[in-house]
Amino acid sequence: MAMAPANKILVVDDDPAVRNLIHRFLAKQNYQMESAEDGKTALTLFEQFDPDLVILDVNLPDANGYNLCQEMQGRTNVFVLMLTSRTDEADKIRGFSQGADDYITKPFSLGELGVRVEALLRRIRERTPAEQQCLVFDKLVIDPVRREVTLNSDIVPLTALEFDLLHFLAAHPGRVWRRAELIQEVWDYEYVGDQRVVDVHIGQIRKKIEVDTSQPNLIQTVRGVGYKFEAPLAEKQAGSA
């Protein structure tokens, strides 16, 4: 039986010690690795290498990591793990709001990095047939095979993590999920950071699929608990007919 091809990871960090340490460590885990020391080199390698995951430093000599994250995700559905020496929670929230899938602060242990990387890449592995079925809610269509969402037949530009979160909620309409449960199910590991990360991603999704973000109809907040996905009224009526 042929082995699945190894996932490809691009490391972008201007500190050669950190960059080489991550490169060597993950190469030993049988990932295909490439490294870049600045934004320009990173974008060139990104086009040539087509990575599944980018480990991206926020502070680069010629680029802003947040902007680079957005640019890369605008080209493919790549996962992005932000890497920084900043510890301010506001910086983390900003990173997530710019599309980052995860965030790790220097100094970090290689063991923790390995767990984060594995959890992110686990999302792109083969799904069960039930997970491959399109979810249709009136004019909103979620296609897990193409990893596409359309609203009124127009493509909704979601990041990889935004797609996973929306798909998970929509696959369990009406069920209320606590933030900690969503982190466990979607992030796929015990996230030890601020649970507001869920709120940030929900907010980003709402901007893209809700008619009125101040009164969301699809992803609803359950005060004191968490969030739930509600099928549109037309969908409910059709189902009860």
| Domain boundaries of the chain, sorted by first residue | 8-122, 129-240
Residue with tokens 């008619």: 211
Residue 13: closest CA among 107, 77, 117, 83: 83
Rounded Cα–Cα distance for residues 99 and 16 (Å): 26
**Better pLDDT: 97 or 128:** 97
207, pLDDT greater than 80? yes
Residue 195, Cβ density class (10 Å: 0-12 exposed, 13-18 middle, ≥19 buried): middle
| Long-range Cβ pairs for the range 214-220 (8 Å, 24+) | 218/137, 218/140, 219/166, 219/169
In sequence order, what are the beta bridge partners of 83? Answer: 57, 104
Q: Which CATH code is given to the segment(s) 129-240?
A: 1.10.10.10
According to the model, what pLDDT value does residue 27 have?
Answer: 95
158 or 77, which is more confident: 158
Q: Give the CATH architecture of domain 8-122.
A: 3-Layer(aba) Sandwich (3.40)
* 130 DSSP assignment: G
Degrees, nearest 5: CA angle 174-206-140 = 65
State yes or no: pLDDT of 184 exceeds 80.
yes
Instruction: Look at the block and give the residue holding tokens 């320009």.
Output: 40
How much is the average pLDDT of 168-190? 86
Q: Strand 53-57 vs strand 219-222: parallel, antiparallel, or unpaired?
A: unpaired
